[in-house]
Amino acid sequence: MYGVLVLALGGCAGKSPPAPQGDEREATPARLEQRLQMLAEKYTIEERPTRDPEQIRAQIAALEERRQSLLLRYTAEHPAVVQVNRQIRVLQERLATIESAPPATNPPAP
């Protein structure tokens, strides 16, 4: 009986896990591309943030559409959704600051 047990266990040693099926191999590049896109969006830095209220409103609208799209796939706690919410909040704060600032006046001519 001992010999049968050793033979049975010996047959398991050194076996590699089964190779991924076709769908699994093809899904990996798609997942990597999606992850790369998320990281690119997360770490995009504006060189010169706009101060044009209309551009900021357009950016907010685009981000809100993106958030709705993400919420079809993920929960509100997903990092991509949290990141979009943060970007929207930053833009809303910037817009509020711009809109609450007194209008710029030209200095009198000498």
Short-list 78, 56, 44, 54, CA closest to 64 = 56
Tokens of 108: 């009198």
Q: Write down the domain spans for the chain.
A: 50-101
Q: What phi and psi values does residue 41 have, to the nearest 5 degrees? A: -70, -35
Q: What DSSP character marks residue 75? A: -
Q: Could you report the per-residue pLDDT of 61-101, keeping only the tens digit for each?
A: 999 999 999 999 999 999 999 999 999 999 999 999 999 98
Q: What Cα–Cα distance (Å) separates residue 90 from each residue in 5, 13, 73?
A: 65, 56, 24
Query: Cα–Cα distance between 84 and 63 in angstroms, integer?
Result: 6
| pTM over cut 0.75 | no
Q: Could you report the per-residue pLDDT of 13-23, keeping only the tens digit for each?
A: 555 555 555 55
